Structure 1
């Protein structure tokens, strides 16, 4: 029988139990450190920006997004008519305008800031040019509407009863009420007023534009008999006009009525003509432009932005033909003066 202690004899020799190696974890730890080192080397190599590839990426973004991406690629935005080559100013892709370094200095250089400013200015010029083109096109459309309304009024021999203006709101068709459209201190349409509206309604029906009717009075210390004040009288006249146009085919959701009393005189109240001219109804064909584009309408309309007699299609064609003849002859037209 063998004694304790975990020893056994075999072939006359004593054998001991296998000794456990407590340092095997070092091998696994070393393998893990090696793998981490390789990972950090790969990440570091990926973090280095390939300038050539970055320039290709920036050029691609510039083509896809237009002038606004010039700031991203650091290129000089082309100026209209400048004819100068683009200059590439490398920009740190991680830098933002106005961002500071740890020491408080700007992260972006002066050249980089100027490149961004040029890109923004180029985009502003592009937007301004688009707005001007839209305003010019809208002025032409409104002038065409004026021609159609003038044709109808001329056919009814009523063209002298209406004046036109193109302003930032659109085409303003001014109907001087006097005693032809409304009786004094009243808001019921006279036969003359109905004839004028009958002439212009068919053109208005076909338009996509919304229509606003403005009532105006010439309450120069005059007594209002049937209404508390000029506010109610002007609003009632506008509403009567709207109701008549709706009854003749215009959709309700396109119409609005506004009363201005005597707050928006057409001419100076001191002018003797103001007694009749300021007592009016304005039928406004509202523009479809946004606010920035609409602000350019008066400039795009030129002389038509002032109060004028309607021009018929025949008159417009004759004027265009005369202008083409003068242009073809090479003569210089004499300067004109607008009242």
Structure 2
């Protein structure tokens, strides 16, 4: 056997040559991904193009669908069609002169006058929701009745004029204001007259269901001695009134609160003799439980009454 024949025999006997490794197989997957991305971009580009003629035809068709045979305007006020993008907000005419000013007399419970923008007609009482107005009138009448009841009880006990009533957006306010009648200067001790006033008004205050805020105030004269500032003095005055109503007159403790405002909320600004007397006071505020929009109308309604 020759050498060449033996070599061929060994190759047939099981020796195999290694296959060639294909290092470019990733190109197949890459090309597939590129093809998919290209198809995606083509689809996105195609759907982003709007046929203007077909769009107008669709708009006119939908607009006609909301109209009858009389060719009246579209049901969407302020536009010629449903898809033209025109604003549907009506234009307003700016107020001129004093017609655009709202004061407390207009029944909106606002202090001073504020500029407003109006449409065809000036703001008036007729613009108020009738249900809100009716509720405000009912609440105003209730507060007026409460004021008359307390005033009558005070007058029957010789205390007429010792309490100054007012009605604001919070409710009925009983102002215990008098020179040395309720509190002496720089003192939180109640006088006998102050206790009598609370005892006479107490049954009415206890009988109602509203919350009551007892608010202490002081004038601008700095205090000395027991109280470091007017804050402590005004708070002590409110607390003394609260304690008398709870401990003597039977007021439920969960319905009453006390707060001191120092000299920050004067009835009369300045340091005149009248201001010093008026601002040394305690206010009993019967807090109305009516909604805010109702309470806002009450002061003007009671002022008219």
TM over 0.5: yes
8 Å CA contact 2:164–2:174 kept in 1: the answer is yes
> Does residue 170 of structure 1 match 2:171?
yes
> Does residue 262 of structure 1 match 2:286?
no
Structure 1 residue 178 displacement after superposition: 3.1
8 Å CA contact 1:178–1:280 kept in 2: the answer is no
8 Å CA contact 2:164–2:175 kept in 1: the answer is yes
Deviates more, 1:231-240 or 1:246-255: 246-255
CA RMSD of aligned residues (A): 3.4
Alignment of 1:280-291 (within 5 A): 280-291=281-292
Unmatched segments (≥5 aa) in structure 1? 1-47, 56-87, 119-124, 305-339
Alignment counterpart, residue 106 of structure 1, candidates 70, 85, 97:
85
d(CA) in 1 for partners of 2:241, 2:82? 63
Quickly say closer, same or farther: Cα 1:236–1:91, change in 2 above 3 A.
same
CA deviations 1:260-306 (Å, max 9, x no partner) are 111111123244211211111111111112222212121111157xx
Misfit runs of 4+, over 6 Å = none
d(CA) in 2 for partners of 1:134, 1:171? 16
Unmatched segments (≥5 aa) in structure 2? 1-61, 91-118, 120-125
Deviates more, 1:174-183 or 1:149-158: 174-183
Q: Aligned residues, how many?
A: 207
User: Which residue does the alignment assign to 1:240?
Assistant: 240
> Could you say which structure has the higher helix fraction?
1
CA deviations 1:138-197 (Å, max 9, x no partner) are 111111001110111001111121111111111111011532222332222221111110
8 Å CA contact 2:220–2:271 kept in 1: the answer is no
CA deviations 1:101-137 (Å, max 9, x no partner) are 3xxx2288x6xx77xxx9xxxxxx7863322222221
CA deviations 1:34-73 (Å, max 9, x no partner) are xxxxxxxxxxxxxx9xx89xx9xxxxxxxxxxxxxxxxxx
Structure 1 residue 201 displacement after superposition: 0.5
TM-score (structure 1 length as normaliser): 0.53
8 Å CA contact 1:152–1:199 kept in 2: the answer is yes
User: Which residue does the alignment assign to 1:145?
Assistant: 146
For the pair shown, the structure with the greater C-alpha radius of gyration is: 2
Name the SS for the 1:161 alignment partner: coil
CA deviations 1:84-111 (Å, max 9, x no partner) are xxxx97647xx9x9x973xxx2288x6x
